[in-house]
Amino acid sequence: MEAYRHTVKYYETDRMGFTHHSNYVRWMEEARIDCMDALGWPYARFEKEGIISPVTAIECRFKQTTTFPEEVSIEVTVTEFKGVRLKLKYVMKNAEGKTVCEAASEHCFIRKGKIIRVDREYPEFFLALKSLQEE
């Protein structure tokens, strides 16, 4: 799958001119939504069916700063998915290919307040996500 690309906006930087750390989490969401779109399963499709996918855990390890108007590529891979808890990894790199941030997020899928098993209710989506799983 092709990496998501984000150009650092001026408003995303702090007084030192570096990207504020909170923005990396936003970029993770942008990359995740883009990934689902590329798989043919847009998030809006799930929302229409009353399904949400909250973040249950998040982790970021910052390796290098980014600045305006730098381009950052974000690769998304599945590290684990057995049908309930989805674990994703994000590797963010600058234009020179240097890793600027390594991150991870965990999610579940909920309908009407109850966790659903994606492998049973949406087997095609489950298999699409499994195709992104690391070996």
Share of the chain above pLDDT 90, in %: 95
Number of H helices, E strands in the chain: 4, 8
Residue 23 placed within a domain: yes
The residue among 60, 57, 134, 69 whose CA lies nearest residue 101 is 60
Range of the domain at 126: 4-130
Per-residue model confidence (pLDDT) at position 84: 96
Where would I find the beta strands (DSSP E) of 82-121? 86-93, 99-107, 110-111, 114-115
Per-residue model confidence (pLDDT) at position 75: 98
pLDDT, tens digit, 9 for 90 and up, residues 24-78: 999 999 999 999 999 999 999 999 989 999 999 999 999 999 999 999 999 999 9
Residue 83 placed within a domain: yes
The CATH number of residue 126's host domain is: 3.10.129.10
Give the chain's domain count: 1
Residue 135 placed within a domain: no
Does the predicted TM-score (pTM) go above 0.75? Answer: yes
